[in-house]
Structure 1
């Protein structure tokens, strides 16, 4: 790993901040009225093991820089992976050359200077893992071995992989704001194949965290991958029907992502959202709250400022079932004649308020219906909200899992699905930047063969 000590990290961060300052000065020298730039440097180790043999060992090292310059309301951008002085000057020159030939855009400007972050909060995002190749291989092998030994029906493996990454990111603009911070992200995953009779199934599990100490143990990751796989063996098809649908917690995050996409500035000012002009309207039952926590310590998406340099802050996207805010960066906010919400670059650490029921309680509440554990395809119409996805999971009868099902399609409309949310569970048991329990929807169309 290239970032191994606090002193080395501080020195590298200072050099990247100086790089940003030089870029901004060069843009001003070439006549730009304003400019902004971001630069990142990362390094990592990735290993993969399959069937007890080492498949991959990769050491990665990446640099990247992007600069945007403004000549009044004309904007130009360029990027480079070469951080040498000559390459940086060439990038600025290229951005300036583009800007003078672009059409004026009244929203092509920096975010308001008064909104810039003041200082950089320490969000506990940097926990380098000085792991060697042999140790990384041993952990990945332990994970896969646990999966393969879990059940005799596990007959093959797609392998286990471990990754350890460290990086630095710095952003600055001609308001005088320059800020950056180091971060780390580590992960371990495993996927195996089970066989029973003439049918085969595949499933996986993973763990991800800022600090290696927060990862799930390798053995448990492997066993869970195997457990999920064998549970799917013997899958059946269903006839077409309408029934309640329970989305397993990690699958339910897709419903949150669809919401965020629909209330994001780009979709709104292009008028390509089924939630256009829905600010302040009730979308969910009153118990629903979706909260953004960008300053969550060790959060996988935590950040002290957004991609415009605007300070981030905690906010409710939804409370009491009502849509409280859109998700805007400076540009989309200008297009919509609304202030930025500090979401340049997206949302950071969404938390869905969880209810009192665990997964068994949700199954009992549903009674008879479909428990969805996997979705396939991208059948979401962003303009109408129509929803149709391939799915797999389990058929539930009298509150108990009856048998696995596969090769089915579930369909509905997201507005109706949100309004028909019956309950959110407290069974959040997966890593990720969106935290939610399982979602029980009152009714959807289930199509089989």
Structure 2
């Protein structure tokens, strides 16, 4: 495939330049009178190409750069940013942040992390794998994926298109308490969305692959064929009778349940008292056969990071142990609001994995369907009907009716409902069909019962 000729990321040289700029900004902040300061300088580039019916629809090339400055006047905080890295712009940005800090109200929780929490030495986690591909090469791969989808069956009648996205970047973060660090990173993805059927019976589905390395992506033809098979399997969908049934969340959707747990146990929700899991630390929140493990240090993983967005060391830990919540997700600020210590999660979680101690290697999706017996396999959720204050959960859904462990027909025009606290405690099995997107992974998740509204 064709390669781009510009050498955008000369990482060692640019990292050295960014470190100098961070030092200059911190020195100017101290000169202005700041008691503390933090500076992050970043640069990234990306290429996004979308095609439809084998023709290029859009080509978007992005190139972003930013310097973000935060200064403190005691416990007053001010922030400003710029995309201009000139010395004069640097000084103006620091001065703007300082001006804001001087006139904001004091906040007892404001301030940089304690120096002993910084990741002053950290491993190379293999996060940077740039992809030398141009728009023509990207379009070729996207067209291959869409062509494979259209060729899967005559039942595939149209396409919403396919797209290939690639990006790389790097940053340096430093502060006045002695932290200085940074690293490069990359992300790549390929997706396709075919349409099956005609008229009122049309159905759409999609699939995608993503990785830090281009050679970690699934083959375009494989992505296209699987997307087409998913769209075809939706034909003939109909509602089911309203009732209470076991529900099996397909692994890509089950990741959202892990995300709901993170949201409910994050510092921001907790100190605002906007979580149904207030004061849950040390108490059962999941079924007792379940663990949630966080590991920031997996080489090449999409959720890996040697430090969080404050420079704090993240923790390899068991967040849930045999159903019991053992830790929250806290930044320095939210931890202080709660009278606790940061967990190194400023900016989010790192490679979370939901696991069951009952899962066997042979527990693939067909095995999970047999475990469920009769109930609903959910493969798509619609809308945002989650109330994290009460835990109430109500989402439109698409899926498949399962009887005696066998899929009988697709199901649409339904709503599934429950309460997250009950759903978490009602998880009876987690499959070995592990699927990870971003910073979270799990197999399919079987819940003993949820309300299903249909006919």
Both proteins in one fold, TM over 0.5: yes
Aligned to 1:262: 264
RMSD: 1.4
Q: Distance in 2 between matches of 1:400 and 1:83?
A: 61
- Check conservation: 1:273, 1:384, Cα contact below 8 A: yes
Aligned to 1:350: 352
Aligned to 2:47: 45
Aligned to 1:292: 294
Q: Distance in 2 between matches of 1:96 and 1:119?
A: 30
Q: Match for 2:337 among 335, 339, 342? A: 335
Q: Match for 1:403 among 400, 409, 413? A: 409
Q: Secondary structure at the match of 1:92?
A: helix
Report matched runs for 1:292-331 at 5 Å: 292-331=294-333
Superposed CA deviations along residues 378-418 of structure 1, whole A, max 9, x for unmatched, are 11111110000000000100110010000100000000001
Question: What is the aligned residue count?
Answer: 448
Aligned to 1:389: 395
- Give the TM-score normalised by the residue count of structure 1: 0.97
Report matched runs for 1:33-182 at 5 Å: 33-182=35-184
Q: Secondary structure at the match of 2:202?
A: strand
**Bigger CA drift: 194-203 or 232-241?**
194-203
Answer yes or no: is 1:14 the counterpart of 2:20: no
Superposed CA deviations along residues 127-167 of structure 1, whole A, max 9, x for unmatched, are 11111222211111111100011111111111111112110
Alpha-carbon deviation of 1:430? Answer: 5.2
Q: Distance in 2 between matches of 1:299 and 1:243?
A: 36
Alpha-carbon deviation of 1:277? Answer: 0.1
- Give the TM-score normalised by the residue count of structure 2: 0.96
Aligned to 2:187: 185
Point out 4+ residue stretches in structure 1 off by more than 4 angstroms: 1-6
Distance 1:353 1:4, change over 3 A: farther
Aligned to 2:432: 426
- Check conservation: 1:3, 1:128, Cα contact below 8 A: no
Q: Distance in 2 between matches of 1:138 and 1:154?
A: 20
Gaps of 5+ in 2: none
Superposed CA deviations along residues 51-76 of structure 1, whole A, max 9, x for unmatched, are 01011122211012211100111111
Q: Distance in 2 between matches of 1:350 and 1:431?
A: 10
Aligned to 2:234: 232
Q: Distance in 1 between matches of 2:279 and 2:235?
A: 45
Alpha-carbon deviation of 1:121? Answer: 1.8
Alpha-carbon deviation of 1:275? Answer: 0.2
Superposed CA deviations along residues 328-357 of structure 1, whole A, max 9, x for unmatched, are 000000110101001011101111125222
Answer yes or no: is 1:32 the counterpart of 2:38: no
Q: Distance in 2 between matches of 1:350 and 1:110?
A: 26
- Check conservation: 2:436, 2:442, Cα contact below 8 A: no
Alpha-carbon deviation of 1:2? Answer: 8.7
- Check conservation: 1:123, 1:295, Cα contact below 8 A: yes
- Check conservation: 2:373, 2:402, Cα contact below 8 A: yes
Aligned to 1:279: 281
- Check conservation: 1:207, 1:431, Cα contact below 8 A: no
- Check conservation: 2:120, 2:180, Cα contact below 8 A: no
